[in-house]
Amino acid sequence: MPFDRNAYPAAITMKHVRPVPALPSLIALGALLACSVSAQAETSPYYIGASQSFTSDSNVRRAATGNESSDVISATGLRAGLDQPLGRQRLFANLSVDSNRYNKTSELNHTSYAVGAGLDWETVERLSGKLSLDSRQSLYRDTSQVLVRRSLVRSDTAGFEARLGTVTLWSFDAGLSAGRVRYSDDIYRASNLSQHTFSAGARYQPSPDWNVRLGVRRTDGKYPDATVQDDFSRNDFDVTTRLQLSGASVVDARLSRTSEKHSIATKTDVNGFTGSLGWTWQASGKSSLGVVLSRDSSVGSYDTTAVASASDANTTLTNSLAVRGTWQATAKIRLNATLGYAQRTLDGNLIATGARITDAKDSFRRAGLSLDYALLRNVDLGCALNWEERSVQEQITQTYAYNAKTFGCFGQIYLR
């Protein structure tokens, strides 16, 4: 897996790592890029770079407590991107590809990627919007069972947004998006998901410090490869607001009346309120704190990017809390700390198997600490320590208890 300084997976010695064939070429590329930095008098709209990380995972298969096995993962990556203004428009694209190699569990070796492109557009009469395309692939971790073989999950999305009005008293927006999630292993084929969403809303902003938006969303989706297809539809009426309490404090809130209905897995139907509450505090020029409370279901959930996600098909509702703090210790050093808690309500009608089992709940806790060091203008280094734990109230089929710790370090270099 690519190194993620914000991930919540462990800490094992890294002295037994096998040599990485791609590393010498990465070092050579780094030397070439470093020599080229001085030649870049101005920031280019293009960038290309390379990265290398090593991550030690105490429970690489996310096995139940007492059955853990550790490993070290090497991720060698390529980065590229574009951010090009075109008059009133802006064209952007990014590419991230990682070759992930496991020291012991080589059957999990895989290539992960994230590629995206889009256009921020603007016309006369305050009409603007965004067109975006995105594709991602990664190793899928089935949260209901131990990872015993490799399965990749790929998500593809496309979206279009249009807005009328910007700093006016009233503004209006509408959007369309389509997405799909596909699994490489036949055992998860029944969880393949296709969905599309339409949204529209009106925003009222009487002052720069406060605005409120009323909106509607309609999501339709299906599991096309399930033995018995479970189609679903979801309607949301949203009230969102942003309040600037002070120059350093902002509150964002959303309350949605949600109605979600499934043709087969009716236990996953939702009829009630979902929403979120977030607070961001810029304590000083060097430190900030963010807190987010959220309640939502797994499919058709609120997402500003309106894309499909590879969430568990049998999750009915998730209540979560996330806290993140950042301290810019110096111009080159930044410390990040994260805490998270989530409680899931799981449905017994598992789409993937068709089995009927007892409904259940589980709880998830995680914490992380990372350090980023800007060695040079185009060279970044960093390390992260993360911990995660899941607990269950009783022995059930859909989920189980486990814990894991990860520790990793990375380096990346760019030519801009």
Task: Report whether pLDDT(166) > 80.
Answer: no
CA distance 390 to 64: 9
Is 374 exposed, middle or buried (CB count within 10 Å of its CB: 0-12, 13-18, 19+)?
A: middle
Q: Give SS3 for 56.
A: strand
Q: What pLDDT shows up at residue 351?
A: 41
User: Which has the higher per-residue pLDDT, 126 or 33?
Assistant: 126
CA distance 405 to 317: 26
CB 410 within 8 A of CB 381: yes
Task: Report whether pLDDT(206) > 50.
Answer: yes
- Cβ neighbors of 346 (< 8 A, separation 6 or more) are 312, 314, 315, 316, 359, 360, 361, 362, 398, 399
When pLDDT is averaged across residues 317-337 and rounded to a whole number, the result is: 96
Read off the DSSP letter of residue 106.
G
When pLDDT is averaged across residues 253-281 and rounded to a whole number, the result is: 89
Q: What pLDDT shows up at residue 294?
A: 94
Residue 219 one-letter amino acid: T
Q: Which residue(s) pair with 370 in the sheet?
A: 336, 384
Q: Give the tokens for residue 286.
A: 């060097």
CB 324 within 8 A of CB 337: yes
CA distance 211 to 239: 11
pLDDT-based confidence at residue 353 (cuts at 50, 70, 90): very low
Q: What pLDDT shows up at residue 305?
A: 35
Which of 49-53, 116-120, 144-148, 247-251 is predicted least confidently?
144-148
Read off the DSSP letter of residue 27.
H
pLDDT tens track for 99-124: 999 999 999 999 999 999 999 999 97
Q: Which residue(s) pair with 219 in the sheet?
A: 197, 234
CB 199 within 8 A of CB 306: yes
pLDDT tens track for 135-162: 999 998 766 666 677 889 999 999 999 9
- Cβ neighbors of 190 (< 8 A, separation 6 or more) are 223, 225, 226, 227, 351, 352, 353
Q: What pLDDT shows up at residue 253?
A: 98
Q: Which residue(s) pair with 274 in the sheet?
A: 256
Of 310, 338, 348, the residue nearest 139 (C-alpha): 310
Residue 199 one-letter amino acid: S
CA distance 285 to 327: 9
**Residues shown for the chain:** 416
pLDDT tens track for 281-300: 999 989 999 999 999 876 65
Distances (CA, A) of 253 to 11, 216, 283, 293, 383: 37, 16, 20, 9, 33
Instruction: Report residue 374 CA to chain centroid gap.
Output: 24
User: Which has the higher per-residue pLDDT, 139 or 27?
Assistant: 139
CA distance 194 to 178: 8
Residue with the two structure tokens 């910007």: 166
Q: What pLDDT shows up at residue 289?
A: 98
Which of 82-86, 156-160, 347-351 is predicted least confidently?
347-351
> What domains lie within the chain, and their CATH numbers?
22-415 (2.40.160)
pLDDT > 70 in the chain, percent: 80
Task: Report whether pLDDT(38) > 50.
Answer: no
When pLDDT is averaged across residues 313-340 and rounded to a whole number, the result is: 90
CB 193 within 8 A of CB 313: yes
CA distance 263 to 268: 10
Task: Report whether pLDDT(51) > 50.
Answer: yes
Distances (CA, A) of 151 to 166, 188, 319, 402: 44, 8, 27, 20
CA distance 319 to 273: 12
pLDDT averaged over every residue in the chain: 84
Q: What pLDDT shows up at residue 143?
A: 63
